[in-house]
Amino acid sequence: MPIATDKLLHQIVSRLRLRHLPLLLALERQRSISRVAAELNLSQPAVTKALREIEDIFMTPLFTRTRNGLEPTATGVAVLAHARTTLADADALGRQLSVIEAGRRGRLRIGVIPYTARAVLDAALAYGLGQSPRIAVLVREGTTDELVNALRLHELDCVIARSFYEAGEDIVQQPLYREEPVLVVPSRAQARLARGGLDWKRLAELDWILPPPHTPVRRTINTMFAVAGVAPPLPIVETYSIKPMATLLRSQPDTITIVPRAVAAELADLGDAATLPFSLSWDLPSVGVMWRREAEVNEMVAGMVAALRGVLPPSSA
């Protein structure tokens, strides 16, 4: 029987409380009344009573009992999705008010992929710190998939990531720049490895530093080897982090990696690293900035996007 929309809306507005939402998320996570009771330090009857009260508000079950524990119903899935974003917004509001009380303009949460160009990251931070009053900035690093998911969950305000991602109607994106790949080796090995032209088979025998599996850059590098007719190398270390790369290039004479030219410059600045003089190409999509499509424009996000566009040449994307 269809639920009367007006009555349901009245129930949600008048009876649903923020304290109900952590309980629902705990039930989704634990799939057990007893485990939720232990996690929240409540009695099992108290958890059962609270769930019954919440389901009475929505006038339909939110979970069903199965062999594998509690499973959310279709209504439960929809309610849980809103519970996650509502709690994220509540957390963001609390932190926003704290920084405003401390005399700052607000708080901006930015997600960045590991290989973000230094000029772009500098511009993002300079924008927040250059405002009057200043904006408190949180920077979170992750893969494109991780960051876009966090954006959708309202855990981030904007994301600097690869624009190949299927943004969807809820996400806006603007391309910023494309990256040129280069081979990086220890400085003392540069002359030796530069002789004789680009030989993928010979390079594959070296000690490779590669990004983690199932990341866009790793897939792209594997494709470069495949196109050359060479099996992708088995890396000695998998990392996106620049400092471990610099350490390995300094201490291991046969290490090699492929990174964007801007990252190669950072590796050279950190110590014993140099690029090989070979022209490479890859189909890695451009890096762009993304944010949620909302009825009310976030002025801090709009200002940061303008600042990022201002530091890059028009042809860079």
The pLDDT value given to residue 197: 87
The pLDDT value given to residue 52: 94
The pLDDT value given to residue 185: 97
Beta strands, E only, the chain = 63-66, 69-72, 106-112, 135-141, 158-162, 171-177, 181-185, 207-210, 237-238, 255-260, 274-275, 287-292
Q: How far apart are CA 61 and CA 54, in angstroms?
A: 9
The pLDDT value given to residue 3: 54
Q: How far apart are CA 268 and CA 133, in angstroms?
A: 36
The pLDDT value given to residue 87: 92
The pLDDT value given to residue 1: 42
- What string of pLDDT tens digits covers the 317 residues of the chain? 455 678 888 888 888 999 999 999 999 999 999 999 999 999 999 999 999 999 999 999 999 999 989 999 999 999 999 999 999 989 989 988 998 999 889 999 999 998 888 889 999 999 999 998 999 999 999 988 899 999 999 999 999 998 865 666 789 989 998 889 999 999 999 999 999 889 999 999 999 999 998 888 899 999 999 999 999 999 999 998 899 999 999 999 999 999 999 899 999 988 789 999 999 988 788 899 999 998 678 899 999 999 998 877 654 65
pTM of the model: 0.78
Whether the Cβ atoms of residue 240 and residue 162 lie closer than 8 Å to each other: no
The pLDDT value given to residue 283: 79
Tokens representing 138 are 């949180």
> Domains of the chain by range and CATH?
5-83 (1.10.10.10), 103-178+286-310 (3.40.190.10), 181-275 (3.40.190.290)
